[in-house]
Copies of this chain bind each other. A is one copy, B any other.
């Protein structure tokens, strides 16, 4: 049997756009670091590090975000007992123009870097590519890092903070935080989860233009990736304990469930959104929920992986979404299309 398998290897290609990993990639360890507000939220006790203020000892918000990435990766490496040099490749990105949080946050690790941009889907994008590169035999160990920062994102995408503008209830609150994930080909000792399937997503544009309602802009992309994932793998929603999006928030959650219902797919029993979990919207005045690359990354590290590690959940589909806009594209009247990348995480138990 073993011999047969070697001579006719099973192709990992599955359906229209998915990949099935016969031999899983292991999520060896991870770390999360967040700002003060996130630390005060419902998941506050679960994060590895909570900042006392949101500057993290830096002089600028952008440099503060770089510090988040540096600390998240450093903490993950310490937790796993890995030396930085053991990591063969880094997969990382953030929301800022030209990804400066990543460049200046990770430069001192002196590791080969694959710079990625998938807006708030970047955590899923990084796990997808790193899993393929490890499964393909091109690296034994890799690390994925993503971040966002409330203040650097407001400056990059919206209004100067000092302007004190009002926010509609459909708006989300960019999470200040960074998550780092260490992936390995082998389970040496413990692992937090195993990655067994991937569904990279395509850009989906429903013609929406409201950057203050990004949940609605991104929901069609989440629906597209989840639908294609279930089709490619021949699974029903209840195969998963949770189907997890990144930062759709309350408005986007409704749109996603409605869109899939129209296709005969009911995920209402499984759906969870990191943006809804991370804040207490009523108490913390965050409106529709949290957002940003950091939102799904820190929730994955602190909460989702904990539930898998402990065997409370057996299998989840993690599909963070990104809104593909910039200040320039918004000002020029372009739509806000979305993208979502799906990653299957299973309990290592």
Contacts and interface: CB of A to CB of B under 8 A. Distances in A.
B205 A107 contact: yes
Contacts of A106: 203
B97 A98 contact: yes
A250 to B, nearest CB: 24
Contact of A100 (B88, B98, B326): B326
Interface string A111-127: 11111111100000100
Contact of A112 (B107, B135, B201): B201
A261 interface: no
A97 B327 contact: yes
A80 interface: no
Interface stretch (A168-176, A310-318, A328-336): A328-336
Nearest to A93: B117
A99 B113 contact: no
A156 interface: yes
A109 to B, nearest CB: 8
A24 to B, nearest CB: 15
Given A13-B138, A93-B117, A135-B136, 15 more contacts: A12-B137, A17-B88, A19-B138, A63-B332, A63-B334, A95-B98, A96-B326, A97-B97, A97-B327, A98-B324, A100-B326, A104-B329, A116-B116, A116-B117, A117-B117
